[in-house]
Amino acid sequence: MRVLLTGGAGYIGAHTAVELVAAGHEAVIFDDFSCSSPVAIGRINEITGTTVPFREIDVTDADAVRAGIEETGPFDAIIHLAARKAIGESVSMPLEYYANNVGSTLVMLGAMRDHGIGTFLFSGTGTVYTHQEDLPFVETSRTGLDLPNPYSKSKRMCEEVMRDFARTDPDKRLIGLRYFNPIGAHDSGLIGEDPQGIPNNLMPIVARVAAGILPQVSVFGRDYDTADGTALRDYIHVVDLAKGHLAAIENAEPGMAFFNLGTGRPSSVLELIAAFEAASGATVPTVDAPRRPGDAQATYCLPDKAHAQLGWAAECGIERACRDYWRWQERNPEGYRSAEA
């Protein structure tokens, strides 16, 4: 299968490219490197022992996408990962988030139609689920646009666009994936998470504290109704997540379908920190901080549908993810910038 991978130099995209090649597929990457680094392309090639073609393309630009496909196609499938993803930033930059996330999805669905591509996978988010009382979330749990931030709203809008587009051609395969908190890195230590500026996610902050780059981890909320008082999240190893993308394009049926990808086993903030201390051998100091507006007590899903229909299940726990992330952190203390220097 020939697969066009947008955002293929990013955190999830790079790992997905590796898994595609390992499974015998051909991958072509479109990425404008606005939230990633060209170094990742070389690392993908080093891991796979091949040369994965790429084009520096902004996938909100329909003309550039069209030219890129005409040059590198044809394709059997599109995996659309390119998106802005920082929840806090989306609140202060809503227009940019809607333009990028919704706009790029419109462009890539148009490319699917215009170039006769049979499969489109949208890499979405579990934050489209709206009601805590539905936990653990399943694919039929309630979703909506009454969401607390433009990032989640933009992803939910994309799902509705896909639903409408799917009705125009029942033979097309349109797939939406929903997941929460990717962590970990490739076990080679060559590719991993490389946030620009101050990290928004917990794992890169913990790793930088363990490495002595940051002084402490702020624990936002110690008064939740959980075993240790901290919030629960479904942390999924990024390699498991990449394999979920692969399983979806290989096994999904014609029509529109959504799948949760997760472990089904939520972990608390303190549990993740303890696992990272064990993996790194370092002490990770913490400081208590107030709950952040909009933070949920728990977010996790059941991945049973993905197991039944795609033959996929997460294999790695947080202990493995922490070991792999620490290897990435040690070898790349400044992310891909370590190689650019």
Does residue 231 contact residue 297 with C-beta atoms inside 8 Å? Answer: yes
The amino acid occupying position 140 is: T
DSSP string, 161-225: HHHHHHTT-TTSEEEEEE--EEE---TTSSS----SSS--SHHHHHHHHHTTSSS-EEEE-S-SS
**151 noted as active-site residue:** yes
Nearest of 130, 104, 125, 113 to residue 164 by alpha carbon: 113
Catalytic residue selected from 11, 129, 151, 235: 151
Longest dimension (CA), the chain: 55
Termini Cα distance of the chain: 36
Distance CA(137)–CA(124), nearest Å, equals 15
CB atoms within 10 A of CB 323: 18
26-31/2-6 β-pairing: parallel
Closest CA to 79 of 151, 27, 37: 27
The pair of structure tokens assigned to 85 is 């993803």
Nearest to 243 by CA among 259, 256, 255: 259
Distance of alpha carbon 299 from alpha carbon 233, whole angstroms = 5
Angle at which helices 150-166 and 103-114 pack, to 10 degrees?
Answer: 20
Query: What distances in angstroms separate CA 76 from CA 81, 159, 249, 266, 304, one per listed residue?
Result: 16, 21, 10, 35, 27
The β-bridge relationship of strands 232-233 and 267-268 is antiparallel
**Which residues belong to the active site?**
151
